[in-house]
Amino acid sequence: MRAHEAGALHGDIGSRGPAWLRTPDDVNALMPALWPRTVTRGADGALAVAGLSVRDLAAEFGTPMYVLDEDDLRSRCRDFRAAFPTEDVFYAGKAFLCRAVVRMIAEEGLHLDVCTGGELATALSAGMPPERIGFHGNNKSVAELARALDAGVGRIIVDSFTEIDRLTALARERGVRPRVLVRVTVGVEAHTHEFIATAHEDQKFGFSLAGGAAAAAAFKILDEGVLELRGLHSHIGSQIFDANGFEVSARRVLALQAQIRDARGVELPELDLGGGFGIAYTTQDDPATPQDLAKRLRKIVDSECAAERLAVPRLSIEPGRAIVGPSVFTLYEVGTVKDLDGIRTYVSVDGGMSDNIRTALYDASYSATLASRASTTEPMLARVVGKHCESGDIVVKDEFLPADVQPGDLVAVPGTGAYCRSMASNYNHVPRPPVVAVRDGHARVIVRRETEEDLLALDVG
């Protein structure tokens, strides 16, 4: 039975933290599933990544910072590429995107999903081949669609009848025939937090399958003959550990493929089942490997195609979190430690909800460890909180840290590669942290730290 994020968050809470959280035998031990693959604890007790001590990284680059293990990210790209050798793997850029990451995923043979003009600009400026880019979004502007066409973007996932009309007009003006997929809302609500479940009917994405809009969109594109309809697209949510949702989604989407074949005599050659594959944030999580995912998804698609007497389409998937999430940890410095008379110990760090909004936004769970040294003291149940003027400014709700944690210590929070820097803000006018990539004993800044001058440069009053 695989755990999922919503199940843990809504489970029974004990008097000393959630029921699943156990007092560690060794408070210095690292759970490998939570960390980039090159992270170790050195003989001096400090964490090291790619051969570099976090104490040296903090001294050179300051805290807080996101630390990206480049070899780890590349190896996860290769794992997906090896597991899906005849399919297309699109890295979901919304998880985290910068030019260095674009180059990494391009060099590892992956495709790239973008969903705004800014993400498209980042991809193109980094040299991503446009034919390997997919363009998502529920409200693409005329300017964004025109830029995608002029750049030669490989596929556009259409999301509304208005967008079909916009794109058709632009394609006619340019004399081009862009490849498109229709995003289908299949009515499957994945087992995640309500705010990150994206395939049930009452939401903004895609064309309703149950209401007939998805079929109407496909017929419109085929009948007008301006856009090249390549296939259908479905995305059922995020942080998913159970393949059952993909089975239901594939069955419903392929039934629509069969309906299109029967009505228009066309078998669409592609099928995109989206992403949302879960990762381990805490000891409760048990994610599937890419090989396991590939085996399950192929079995599902092959079975449903046989049932509908369809040729098996070329499959696409869209991992984002599953690639970049575990490849990054955030490094903080402790500022204060506050013991509330045995009720709870608050460990305040020099970042918070401006660099990781997910705990406040989704009630997400994270882990943490004392990173700058080892400790021989007993474990202490703590809450890691930020510096913002907000009671909900929580980074890690419950975690065992050494009882002697003190100001000046470094604390590391793993699993922060996805939806942390990409959703970061300047709340309380706090500049956003840098992203530092490490590899083979070398470190480089790939996204620099914001400064107060950056903040004031936008203030023209």
pLDDT in tens, 439-460: 999 999 999 999 999 999 999 9
Asked whether residue 137 is marked as a ligand-binding residue, the answer is no
Residue-level pLDDT at 441: 97
Backbone phi and psi for residue 18, each to the nearest 5 degrees, phi listed first:
-65, 155
pLDDT of residue 10: 37
Bond prior to 64 in cis (omega within 30° of 0): yes
- Is 358 annotated as contributing to ligand binding? yes
Average pLDDT over residues 210-229: 96
Mean pLDDT of 229-253: 88
* Rounded Cα distance, 178 and 180, in Å: 6
The Cα 95–Cα 419 span in angstroms is: 5
Instruction: State the catalytic residue, choosing from 77, 115, 305, 389.
Output: 389
Domains and CATH numbers, the chain: 32-69+327-453 (2.40.37.10), 84-324 (3.20.20.10)
Q: How far is CA 262 from the centre of its chain?
A: 37
- Strand pairing category for 345-349 and 369-370: unpaired
pLDDT of residue 239: 87
Q: Is 362 annotated as a binding residue?
A: yes
201 confidence band (pLDDT: 50, 70, 90):
low
Is 389 tagged catalytic? yes
d(CA 381, CA 126): 44
How confident is the model over 139-150, as a mean pLDDT?
A: 98
Residue 19's pLDDT is 85
> What does the angle CA 424 – CA 426 – CA 431 come to, to the nearest 5 degrees?
95
End-to-end CA distance of the chain: 57
Angle at which helix 70-83 crosses helix 290-308, to 10 degrees, equals 30
Q: Kindly compute the dihedral angle of the four CA atoms of residues 109, 113, 117, 122, in this order, to the nearest 10 degrees.
A: -30
Across 238-242, average pLDDT? 84
What is the CB neighbour count within 10 angstroms for residue 274?
27
Residues 366, 351: contact at Cβ < 8 Å?
no
Tens-place pLDDT, residues 376-397? 999 999 999 999 999 999 999 9
The pLDDT mean for the chain works out to 93
**Residue whose entry in the numeric block shows the structure tokens 């299109």:** 260
Average pLDDT, stretch 279-294? 94
**Burial class of residue 185 in the structure, from the number of CB atoms within 10 Å of its CB (0-12 exposed, 13-18 middle, 19+ buried):** buried
319 is in an annotated binding site: yes
> Which helix (DSSP H) or strand (DSSP E) does residue 212 occupy?
none
Cα dihedral 120→126→130→132 (10° resolution):
-100
Mean pLDDT of 269-273: 97
Nearest to 64 by CA among 451, 439, 447, 434: 434
Share of the chain above pLDDT 90, in %: 86
Closest CA to 111 of 157, 156, 154: 154
The answer to the question of whether 24 is labelled as a binding residue is: no
Query: What is the model's pTM?
Result: 0.93
Q: H helices then E strands: how many in the chain? A: 13, 23
> Identity (one letter) of the amino acid at 439?
R
Q: Answer yes or no: is 276 a known binding residue.
A: yes
- Output b/e per residue, 397-406; b: 16+ Cβ within 10 A: bbbbbbbebe
Residue 11 is labelled as binding a ligand: no
Chain centre to alpha carbon of residue 3: 18
Residues 333-343: what's their mean pLDDT?
91
Measured at the CA of 331, the angle between CA 327 and CA 336, to 5 degrees, comes to: 150
Higher pLDDT, 349 or 18: 349
Q: Is the peptide bond before 313 cis (omega within 30 degrees of 0)?
A: no
Q: Is the pLDDT of residue 218 over 80?
A: yes
**What's the pLDDT at 106?**
98
Asked if the model's pLDDT at residue 3 lies above 50, the reply is no
